[in-house]
Structure 1
Amino acid sequence: MKIGLNATTLLGRASVADMAAHAAAAESAGFSGWWLAELPTGGFDALTALAVIGQSVEQMEIGTAVVPTFPRHPVMLAGQALTVQGSIRSKLSLGIGLSHQVMMAELGLADDKPIRHLREYLEVLMPLVTDGRVDADGETLTGRAAAIYPVTEPVEVVVAALGPQALRVAGRLASGTNLAWVGPLTIRDHIVPTITDAAEQADRPSPRVIATLPVGVTDDPAAAREVLTANTQMYMELPSYQAMFEREGVSSTGELGLFGSADEVTERIAHLAECGVTDFAASEFGLDADARAQTRELLTNLAAQHNAPNNAS
């Protein structure tokens, strides 16, 4: 399992320059990847930011976690993703997702038949970002287009898939899944077997399972969980996440935080690998500067161990 960072908390600063500096520091520290979210109504475009951030990165993978599909036609998203990939030196991971009904409603968009939408979206997007050409007709999405320039570096696509149907579509058509707020037991018993079975049936490579959870080295994990829960109430109200919380047997986001001593956090991260996570995108969390420094130190040490060449554990 590789160790990277999810830097979505930086969105509150609204500074692409700060994000670029953070990504460059992450690469210097040995992290394998760096992911950034895009909020549908947040006034921030993650892919545009990554085109800038990527100028400060040499080899570390950078990616979206995730771009909502409904507001953007797949041909347009493919063009943007290919442009970003062509403008950076490292590899782009294009994470996409259906987002949530309440968020789409704020844009006046209906997420009617989301699984059909996801399947047709990938049927248009995937050929364009891999081969540079598509000719697809769906019930709601059509794509007839060709990239202006040959696609020399295909863009990998992963899907924020939680339910069984979405996981099966992702397994058949994409390269894996990018998860947030999904606990280890749910990953082991639900996510990994469902998406892996779909990939095998489609004769595709084993899917990536990129997981993000908050991480914090602290001597007061109860306080960390309390603050995390208070700051992330909105996720507890979203039906797709509620289903994952129920599967995991938790009632709050705080319970999913990997908090405790350095040894305890290390053990919980190792458990994610045992459950089938291929890439852990840690979201750093600390109640003070000292806790944040200890957390970064631990994650840097783990990155050095896990991200070494030929290390698949």
Structure 2
Amino acid sequence: MNRHVSVLVPFTPSRAEQVVPFAAFVQWRGAAVLWQGQGLLTEQHQVFAQLCGLGVCPPLGLGVSLMPLRHPVHAALEARTLAAASGHPVTAAFGPGSSAFQKAVLGAAYPSPLTAAREYLGVIRALLTSGEADLHGTYFSYRGVLPRLPAPPVFLGLGVLRPGMARLAGEVADVAVTWLTPPDYLRDILLPAVREGAEEAGRPMPRIVSIVPTALDRPGRDTAALLARGSEPHLEAPHYQDMLARAGVPVRPGRPQDTVRGALDAGALVNGDPERIAGRVAAYHDAGVDEVVLNCTGVAMRWGPRAVLQDLEELSDGKVW
């Protein structure tokens, strides 16, 4: 098992220049990967492609891109383009999103999100491995080719919150990406399900990546409030609330500041001084996570990107990595 630490761009950039300091930090301070989540202000693949054009391009991760927004052929083309432009392998993780988001984009939710995710990754993998696909699914189909292009590999991921998607990740993905998942829940529930899926499919165990909301204590900061603010969309989403409840976290719909207390106790959110944060990151690694992605969105929302970079500098000088 690897013990990597990576960094999430803690805001949705309006132009690639805003991401350069974080890309440079990853390159020079020993972080593993620069990640972006799904945004609706700007398109994450285009921002990363612009970043590559600026000549500051570390290994890149996309997680979790929402399946309803793009056909899998387009997803394969975008991910491979980034690998070619950056010169590094790219981790591209996908997920169906909430049922409300599926309805908003498609007019109706997927009756079976697991089937949709299986078909989605099936089309992408066929195109990126053999260059052609002849797949006819309930939700996604493609009969055609993707012309070959010399490029570093694309590692396909699935966003994982609950055991069903975890087993599917074991069957079909290279990477399982979790968000807001406590270490004990990962160790006891999700990782056994991923392993079960991989063993049934006769595949290697996927790499496990956990995106962890993080806030460094400083004078004048209420880090619990920062974490609540930065994670509010997830804390209020029904599928995240269901996952947290399965993990034993008391969930208070409509009161994310209350849910945060239990999530902090469970380690799903991380705050404290560098030594405490290092211990929390180590708990994820000890649970079986290969790569922990520090998500400092709450700090960025209140104090700005410069404050996040200062925090990351302090964490990288300490015991976190």
The TM-score bracket by the shorter chain reads 0.7 to 0.9
Stretch deviating more after TM superposition (262-271 or 248-257): 248-257
Unaligned ranges ≥5, structure 2: 252-258
Q: Distance in 1 between matches of 2:284 and 2:91?
A: 21
Q: How many angstroms does 1:55 deviate by?
A: 4.0
Counterparts of 1:241-252 in structure 2, within 5 Å, are: 241-250=240-249, 251=251, 252=259
Q: How many angstroms does 1:236 deviate by?
A: 2.1
TM-score, normalised via structure 1 length:
0.87
Classify 1:275/1:246 alpha carbon distance in 2 versus 1 (closer, same or farther; 3 Å). Answer: same
Q: Is contact 2:169–2:194 with CA below 8 Å preserved after alignment?
A: yes
Q: Match of 1:5?
A: 7
Q: Is contact 1:31–1:60 with CA below 8 Å preserved after alignment?
A: no
Q: Match of 2:61?
A: 63
Q: Is contact 2:274–2:318 with CA below 8 Å preserved after alignment?
A: no
Q: How many angstroms does 1:221 deviate by?
A: 10
Classify 1:32/1:229 alpha carbon distance in 2 versus 1 (closer, same or farther; 3 Å). Answer: same
Q: Is contact 2:96–2:102 with CA below 8 Å preserved after alignment?
A: no
Amino acid in the other structure paired with 1:160: G
Q: Is contact 1:59–1:91 with CA below 8 Å preserved after alignment?
A: no
Q: How many angstroms does 1:170 deviate by?
A: 1.4
Counterparts of 1:217-228 in structure 2, within 5 Å, are: 217-218=216-217, 223-228=222-227
Amino acid in the other structure paired with 1:33: V
Q: How many angstroms does 1:227 deviate by?
A: 3.0
Q: Match of 1:273?
A: 285
Aligned residues between the structures: 300
Q: Match of 2:254?
A: none
Q: Is contact 2:270–2:280 with CA below 8 Å preserved after alignment?
A: yes
Q: Deviations over 1:69-95 (max 9, x none)?
A: 122111121122222222222221111
Amino acid in the other structure paired with 2:286: E
Counterparts of 1:227-306 in structure 2, within 5 Å, are: 227-250=226-249, 251=251, 252-253=259-260, 255=264, 256-284=268-296, 286=299, 293-302=310-319, 305=321
Q: Distance in 2 between matches of 1:290 and 1:236?
A: 24
Q: Distance in 2 between matches of 1:143 and 1:104?
A: 21
Classify 1:210/1:188 alpha carbon distance in 2 versus 1 (closer, same or farther; 3 Å). Answer: same
Q: Is contact 2:64–2:95 with CA below 8 Å preserved after alignment?
A: yes
Q: How many angstroms does 1:226 deviate by?
A: 2.3
Whether 2:51 is the aligned partner of 1:53: answer yes
Q: Match of 2:256?
A: none
Q: How many angstroms does 1:21 deviate by?
A: 3.3
Counterparts of 1:1-313 in structure 2, within 5 Å, are: 1-7=3-9, 9-11=10-12, 13-39=13-39, 42-55=40-53, 60-112=58-110, 113-150=112-149, 152-218=151-217, 223-250=222-249, 251=251, 252-253=259-260, 255=264, 256-284=268-296, 286=299, 293-302=310-319, 305=321
Q: Distance in 1 between matches of 2:119 and 2:307?
A: 48
Q: Distance in 1 between matches of 2:220 and 2:280?
A: 13
Q: Deviations over 1:188-209 (max 9, x none)?
A: 1111111122112212122111
Amino acid in the other structure paired with 1:242: Q
TM-score, normalised via structure 2 length:
0.85
Classify 1:151/1:124 alpha carbon distance in 2 versus 1 (closer, same or farther; 3 Å). Answer: farther
Q: Is contact 1:216–1:292 with CA below 8 Å preserved after alignment?
A: no
Q: Deviations over 1:279-312 (max 9, x none)?
A: 0111135465778624432135456x5xxxxxxx
Give the secondary-structure state (helix, strand or coil) at the position aligned to 1:182. Answer: coil
Give the secondary-structure state (helix, strand or coil) at the position aligned to 1:44. Answer: coil
* Sequence identity (%): 21
Give the secondary-structure state (helix, strand or coil) at the position aligned to 1:186. Answer: helix
Q: Is contact 1:157–1:175 with CA below 8 Å preserved after alignment?
A: yes
Q: Distance in 1 between matches of 2:216 and 2:43?
A: 31
Give the secondary-structure state (helix, strand or coil) at the position aligned to 2:11. Answer: helix
Give the secondary-structure state (helix, strand or coil) at the position aligned to 1:185. Answer: helix
Classify 1:231/1:173 alpha carbon distance in 2 versus 1 (closer, same or farther; 3 Å). Answer: closer
Q: Is contact 2:76–2:124 with CA below 8 Å preserved after alignment?
A: yes
Q: How many angstroms does 1:167 deviate by?
A: 1.4
Unaligned ranges ≥5, structure 1: 306-313
